[in-house]
C-alpha cells in the first residue's frame, strides 16, 4: 500500500494544475480527427523540459488517458474516430447520434471509460510485479497467433457476411504490405511516391471513415427534405449511470479484454476496443441490435480502450518495454529527465513512479467529470445541417491528414482510400474490418519473420509455431472464433428465412 503515501503530491498546486490542463487539453485533442494519443503526448513533451520529472509525467499521463476518451466525441458525432482506439465506438455510437441520442451515447462512453480506466490503473498498482512476468512470456510466435486471432474476429465485426468481413480484412492486410519491407528493405506495391513510407494508419482511418460520409452527405445536396437537422434529446446523467450499472456484462467484457490486451507489448488500444466489441456482441442475447445503435457496443468499446491504458504501462515501468506506441513516447519523456524504467524504478524513484500512477487514477475521475459536462453541449453538433457538416468534416479530414507528417502525400492516400471505401460500402463491405487488417498486418508480419528466424536456428517452424501450451491455446481460440462466426451467420439466415415464411 506504498502508493497511498504519495497521493498528497498529486494535489500540490502546480501538479494538480498540470493534471487539469492535461485532462482538458487531452479531451480537446482527442476529439480532433487526426490527433492520436501518441501524437498528443509527443506534442507535449517539449513543454516538460523545464518541469520537474514528476510534473512532466503528470501532464503527459493526463493527456494520454483523456485523449483516448476524447476520441469518442468525433467517433459518435461525426463517425470519424478521434484515434484508432475509438474505431469500434463508431459502430453503434454514431447510429445513436443519428437517432438524436448523441448526449446519451457520449455520457455512456465517458462513464464506461472512467470505469475501465480506474480498474486498469488499479491493476497497474496492485499487480505490476506479477503481470510483468506474464507479459514477458509472450514471444514472436504468440504475438503472431494473437494477430491472426484478430483477423478471425474480423469475420463477425460490423458485417452482415462473414465472407465479406474476411475479404475486407484481407484488403487491409494487403494495404499493410505497401511500402518498404522492414526486414529486407524491398519495395512493395509502391505505385506513387506518396506510398514510399507505407500507408499511415491515421490518414487511412480518416479516409476510410470520413470520406464516404462526406460523399454521401454531399450527394444529398441542399434539398429541403434531405437537410432536416437531427433532434438532440436531452438525457439525464443519472439515467446514464443507471444504464451503465444495468449493463455489467458489456462493462466487464470491455474492461477485462482491455486490461489483458493492454498488457501485451505492441498490440495497442485499437485492438482492445474492436475485440471487446466483438466479444460483447457474441455473448449478448441482444446481438441483433449491435450496429443499430445499441448502448452495449459503446460501453464495451470505450471501457476496453481506457482499461488498456494502465496495463500498457506495466511492461514499460518494470521491463522498459513499451506496451503501446503512446507508452513508447512516455518512455522518451522518462529518459529525457534521466529516469530509466526497470526493476529498480520503484526503489530508486518511488516518489516519481507512485505520484505519476496516482495522478492517472485521479485523472480518470476528472476526465469523466469534464467529459460529462461537455457531452450535452457537444451533442448539438448533430443539429448542424448535413451540407454544412460535410464541408466541416472534409476540412477536418484534410487538416488531420496533412498535420500527421506535413505531407500532401498523406492527403492523397486519405482521399484515395475514402473513395475506394465509398464504393466498397455500396456492395456491403465495412470499413472496420479493413482498418483492423491494416493495423494487424505489420504485427503479424514482423512477428512471423522474427519467429521464422528463431525457428530456423532452434527447433524448426512446426515446433516453434505449433508447439507449446500457449500456442496451442491461441490456435484453438482462432479455430473456435471462425467456427462461431460461421455458425452465427448460418443461424441468423435460418431465422430470417423462417420469418419470411411464417411472417
Confidence (pLDDT) at 423: 92
Q: Are 211 and 426 in contact (CB under 8 A)?
A: no
Give residue 35's pLDDT: 65
322 within 8 A of 129, measured Cβ to Cβ: no
Q: Which residues of 130-152 are buried (b: 16+ CB within 10 A; e: fewer)?
A: ebbeebeebbbbbbbbbbbbbbb
Question: Which of 205-214, 263-272, 386-395 bottoms out in mean pLDDT, i.e. has the lowest?
Answer: 263-272
C-alpha cell at 418: 475514402
Q: Which range has the worst mean pLDDT, 144-148, 159-163, 285-289, 457-461?
A: 159-163
419 pLDDT above the threshold of 60: yes
pTM of the model: 0.70
* Residues 441 and 177: beta-carbon distance below 8 Å: yes
Closest of 198, 153, 157, 155 to residue 174, by C-alpha: 198
Predicted pLDDT of residue 228:
43
Q: Residue 195: its pLDDT value, please?
A: 82
> Is residue 21's pLDDT more than 80?
yes
Q: Examine the pLDDT at 225 and tell me if it is beyond 50.
A: no
Residues 351-368 have pLDDT tens digits of: 888 888 888 899 899 998
**CA–CA distance, 489 with 473 (Å, rounded to integer):** 24
Cβ 263 vs Cβ 134: under 8 Å? yes
Mean pLDDT throughout 375-391? 68
pLDDT value, residue 94: 86
Give the lowest-confidence range in 166-170, 462-466, 469-473, 483-487.
Answer: 483-487
Angle between helices 350-378 and 13-30 (to 10 degrees): 50
Ramachandran angles phi, psi of 222, nearest 5°: -115, 25
Cβ–Cβ < 8 Å for 50, 331: no
pLDDT tens string 56-115: 888 888 888 888 888 888 888 878 777 777 888 888 888 888 888 888 888 899 999 999
Burial category of 2 from C-beta neighbours within 10 Å (exposed 0-12, middle 13-18, buried 19 and up): exposed
DSSP H helical segments within 284-407, as ranges? 295-307, 309-312, 314-319, 325-336, 345-348, 350-378, 386-405
The SS3 of residue 202 is helix
- Would you tell me how many other CB atoms lie within 10 Å of the CB of residue 224? 6
What is the number of residues in the chain?
A: 503
Q: What is the dihedral of CA 271, 276, 279, 284, to 10 degrees?
A: -150
Report pLDDT for 19.
92
Average of per-residue pLDDT values in the chain: 80
Q: What is the pLDDT of residues 318-343, one digit of tens each?
A: 766 665 667 767 777 777 777 777 66
In terms of pLDDT, which residue wins out, 160 or 246?
246
Average pLDDT over residues 156-162: 60
The CB density around residue 125, as the number of other CB atoms within 10 Å, is 17
pLDDT tens for 261-299 read 877 765 655 678 888 888 888 888 887 888 888 889 899
Average pLDDT over residues 494-499: 56
24: pLDDT strictly greater than 80: yes
Is residue 391 predicted with pLDDT exceeding 70? yes
Q: Which of 15-19, 45-49, 137-141, 340-344 has the lowest mean pLDDT?
A: 340-344
Minimum mean pLDDT among 88-92, 228-232, 421-425: which range? 228-232
Contact 436, 157 (CB under 8 A): yes
160: nearest Cα among 480, 423, 490: 490
What contacts 284, CB < 8 A, 6 or more positions away?
249, 250, 290, 296
Q: Assess whether pLDDT exceeds 90 at residue 420.
A: yes
Amino acid at each position: 500500500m506504498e502508493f497511498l503515501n504519495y497521493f498528497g503530491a498529486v494535489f500540490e498546486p502546480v501538479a494538480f494544475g498540470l493534471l487539469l490542463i492535461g485532462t482538458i487539453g487531452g479531451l480537446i485533442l482527442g476529439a480532433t480527427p487526426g490527433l492520436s494519443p501518441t501524437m498528443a503526448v509527443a506534442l507535449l513533451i517539449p513543454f516538460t523540459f523545464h518541469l520537474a520529472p514528476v510534473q512532466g509525467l503528470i501532464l503527459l499521463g493526463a493527456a494520454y488517458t483523456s485523449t483516448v476518451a476524447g476520441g469518442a466525441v468525433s467517433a459518435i458525432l461525426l463517425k470519424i474516430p478521434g484515434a484508432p482506439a475509438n474505431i469500434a465506438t463508431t459502430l453503434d455510437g454514431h447510429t445513436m447520434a443519428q437517432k438524436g441520442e448523441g448526449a446519451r451515447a457520449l455520457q455512456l462512453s465517458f462513464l464506461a471509460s472512467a470505469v475501465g480506466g480506474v480498474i486498469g490503473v488499479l491493476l497497474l498498482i496492485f499487480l505490476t510485479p506479477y503481470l510483468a512476468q506474464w507479459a514477458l512470456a509472450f514471444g514472436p510466435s504468440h504475438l503472431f497467433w494473437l494477430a491472426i486471432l484478430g483477423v478471425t474476429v474480423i469475420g463477425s465485426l460490423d458485417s452482415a457476411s462473414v465472407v465479406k468481413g474476411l475479404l475486407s480484412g484481407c484488403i487491409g492486410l494487403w494495404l499493410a504490405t505497401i511500402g518498404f519491407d522492414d526486414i529486407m528493405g524491398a519495395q512493395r506495391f509502391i505505385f506513387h511516391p506518396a506510398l514510399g513510407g507505407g500507408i499511415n494508419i491515421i490518414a487511412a482511418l480518416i479516409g476510410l471513415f470520413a470520406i464516404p460520409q462526406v460523399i454521401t452527405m454531399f450527394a444529398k445536396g441542399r434539398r429541403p427534405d434531405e437537410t432536416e437537422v437531427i433532434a438532440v434529446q436531452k438525457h439525464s446523467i443519472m439515467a446514464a449511470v443507471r444504464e451503465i450499472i444495468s449493463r455489467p456484462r458489456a462493462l466487464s467484457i470491455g474492461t477485462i479484454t482491455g486490461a489483458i490486451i493492454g498488457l501485451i507489448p505492441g498490440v495497442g488500444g485499437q485492438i482492445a476496443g474492436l475485440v471487446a466489441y466483438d466479444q460483447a456482441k457474441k455473448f449478448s442475447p441482444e446481438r441483433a441490435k449491435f450496429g443499430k445503435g445499441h448502448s452495449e457496443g459503446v460501453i464495451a468499446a470505450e471501457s476496453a480502450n481506457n482499461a488498456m491504458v494502465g496495463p500498457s504501462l506495466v511492461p514499460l515501468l518494470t521491463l522498459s518495454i513499451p506496451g503501446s506506441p503512446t507508452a513508447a513516447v512516455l518512455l522518451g519523456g522518462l529518459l529525457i529527465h534521466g529516469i530509466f524504467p526497470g526493476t529498480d524504478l520503484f526503489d530508486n524513484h518511488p516518489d516519481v513512479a507512485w505520484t505519476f500512477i496516482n495522478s492517472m487514477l485521479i485523472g480518470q475521475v476528472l476526465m469523466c467529470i469534464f467529459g460529462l459536462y461537455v457531452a450535452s453541449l457537444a451533442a448539438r453538433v448533430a443539429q448542424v445541417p448535413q451540407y454544412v457538416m460535410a464541408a466541416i468534416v472534409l476540412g477536418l479530414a484534410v487538416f488531420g491528414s496533412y498535420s500527421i507528417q506535413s505531407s500532401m502525400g498523406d492527403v492523397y492516400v486519405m482521399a484515395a482510400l475514402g473513395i475506394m471505401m465509398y464504393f466498397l460500402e455500396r456492395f456491403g463491405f465495412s470499413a472496420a474490418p479493413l482498418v483492423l487488417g491494416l493495423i494487424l498486418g505489420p504485427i503479424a508480419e514482423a512477428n512471423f519473420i522474427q519467429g521464422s528466424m528463431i525457428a530456423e536456428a532452434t527447433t524448426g517452424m512446426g515446433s516453434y509455431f505449433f508447439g507449446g501450451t500457449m500456442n496451442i491455446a491461441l490456435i484453438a481460440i482462432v479455430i473456435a472464433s471462425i467456427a462461431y462466426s460461421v455458425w452465427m451467420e448460418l443461424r441468423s439466415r435460418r431465422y430470417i428465412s423462417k420469418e419470411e415464411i411464417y411472417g
